Structures are given as structure tokens and as C-alpha cells.
Amino acid sequence: MQRTGEQLRQLLGQQLSRAVVPLATAPLATLNRRRPALVAPSSPAAAAARFADYDDAPVAAPAPLDYNPYRDNFSDMNPDGSYIFGYSLPNGVRRWERGYFSGQQQSRVVEGFSVEPRHYQSGVSYELRCYRADAYGYHPLGIEYIQQPPVVRRDLLPRVHCLNLQR
């Protein structure tokens, strides 16, 4: 029995050693070309330069002059369980969400929106999708097309028509 177990270990070791290619056998040129799967360009100009080879490359939206990744990307949790979360990217992608306990419904409520740029021949438009989730389920609140994405910052509520946010 012990001999059979040892034979199985040797056989398994041989199969595994053939299945894994050592790093030294990979061509160095291949390793130099490897890049992470997702790398965000640092600016709209970098994105345009990066995708210049493509005929149907989207035109990057101009970045807000006061873009600050430390101020515009946040996730804050309060001791009572409520939270606020948001991020803003230079190309116009935005996301904002808050969760809180509603005394009226006696349940947790989550509401928020996401914005994505849509490139058309006439220019860039932004698709705004709002939602609300509560004890009665998930409720998409409609889609709007706007000319400028809403400002998403830690210290102020975004101005969007589809959410009834207290100002």
C-alpha cells in the first residue's frame, strides 16, 4: 500500500512538472510585452494617444480642470450603518450611491446613479441611470441623456433630476 502511494506521488509529480512551464523557458521578448489587463490612462490625451491606432477610437471627453482623484473618489461608512460611496474619472464616468435606514419603511434604502459617456457623430452625450432599492425591491428610475456629467464629490450632494436628494 505504501509503495502504491509513493508511485502515485511520483507519477503526479511528473505530470505536474510537464504541465507547468518554467518562467526561464518563456522568450524574454514575450515577457517584456506583457501588460496588466486593465490600465487606466492618466489623462484624456494619454487615452487618445493610446487608442490612436484604432479607426473607431472614441474621442475622450475633456477632463474637468479641477479633477482630483483623492477628493472625487470616496467611500465613507458611518457608525449607524449608513454610507456614501462615489467615484469620478477624467473621461466622464461617474458613480454615486448612498445607503441609509428609512424609518418610514423600517428598512434599508440604497439609491444612486451611474453616468457613462456615449460618443455620437455630433459629439459626446452622457447616459445617466438612476436607481433605488428598498424593502420592495430594486427600482430603476429611468435613463436621461445629459450634456455634462454631474459633479461627484465627497462634500456635496450631486445635482441629478432622477433622485430626490435633499439639498
How confident is the model over 97-153, as pLDDT tens digits?
999 998 787 889 999 999 999 888 778 889 999 999 999 899 998 888 888 888 888
Min mean pLDDT across 29-43, 59-73, 128-142 is at 29-43
Can you give the residue ranges of every domain in the chain? 2-50, 69-146
Spatial contact of 95 and 113, defined as CB atoms under 8 Å apart = yes
pLDDT band at residue 18 under the 50/70/90 scheme: low
Q: How many CB atoms lie within 10 A of CB 144?
A: 16
pTM of the prediction?
0.57
pLDDT of residue 5: 72
pLDDT of residue 107: 86
The H or E element containing residue 45 is: helix 44-50
Min mean pLDDT across 27-41, 45-59, 144-158 is at 27-41
CA distances from 155 to 18, 46, 49, 71, 103 (A): 57, 29, 34, 9, 24
Mean pLDDT of the chain: 76
Residue 10 has pLDDT above 80, yes or no: no
d(CA 91, CA 68): 13
Residue 167 has pLDDT above 50, yes or no: no
Tell me the mean pLDDT in the region 62-87. Answer: 80
